[in-house]
């Protein structure tokens, strides 16, 4: 999967100057979080990496924007084929995870659950302490209870240049 080229494209198309707490730095932290979580959840690595990139890419602002998830799902659908490929089942999980990441509470599917937990584990950027009751995976709950990803940081593989 050409992740680097896709990241460059999405940043060029979707990351306006105002975007700070929901912008590319957040997307990379969500990707790191997801890769750490996948070591225990068995989630689809391509899906969680794509989720990290797309989930907040269609925000209109850094404030209240409940429709950014559904817009992200539409954007993901528009890029399938010309920009990336996924098998149908994995693609539908990516679309669902993006569309519902703000309003969905929990999910039993390990891939969707990992996507949502990875995003929620980065709430510290907006001064919210991640709470285990909002995590879907056992590993996400454990990390939230501990209060830091630091003990598991070594589990994240290098993500640039892949």
Spatial separation of the C-alpha atoms in residues 141 and 83, rounded to whole Å = 34
Tokens of 75: 């954007």
pLDDT band at 22 (very low <50, low <70, confident <90, very high): confident
75-112 tens-digit pLDDT? 999 999 989 999 999 999 999 999 999 888 899 999 99
Spatial separation of the C-alpha atoms in residues 73 and 92, rounded to whole Å = 10
pLDDT at 161 over 80: no
Place of tokens 């290098």: 158
Spatial separation of the C-alpha atoms in residues 90 and 44, rounded to whole Å = 8
- Whether the model pTM is above 0.75: yes
pLDDT at 34 over 50: yes
User: Between residues 42 and 159, which one has the greater pLDDT?
Assistant: 42
User: Between residues 156 and 137, which one has the greater pLDDT?
Assistant: 137
Place of tokens 């105002």: 18
16-20, 27-31, 45-49: least confident range: 16-20
Tokens of 41: 């959840």
First to last CA, the chain: 8
- Residues with Cβ < 8 Å from 86, sequence gap 6 or more? 46, 47, 50, 80, 94
Average pLDDT over the chain reads 90
User: Between residues 19 and 131, which one has the greater pLDDT?
Assistant: 131
């Amino acid at each position: 999967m050409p992740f680097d080229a896709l990241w460059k494209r999405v940043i060029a198309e979707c990351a306006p100057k105002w975007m700070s707490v929901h912008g590319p730095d957040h997307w990379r932290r969500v990707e790191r979080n997801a890769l750490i979580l996948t070591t225990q959840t068995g989630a689809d690595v391509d899906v969680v990496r794509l989720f990290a990139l797309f989930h907040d890419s269609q925000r209109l602002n850094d404030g209240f924007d409940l429709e950014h998830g559904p817009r992200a799902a539409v954007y993901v659908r528009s890029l399938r084929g010309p920009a990336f490929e996924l098998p149908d089942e994995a693609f539908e999980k990516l679309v669902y995870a993006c569309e519902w990441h703000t309003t969905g509470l929990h999910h039993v599917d390990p891939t969707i659950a990992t996507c949502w937990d990875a995003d929620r584990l980065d709430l510290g950027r907006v001064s919210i302490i991640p709470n285990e009751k909002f995590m879907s995976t056992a590993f996400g709950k454990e990390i939230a209870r501990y209060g830091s990803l630091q003990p598991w940081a070594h589990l994240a593989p290098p993500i640039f240049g892949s």
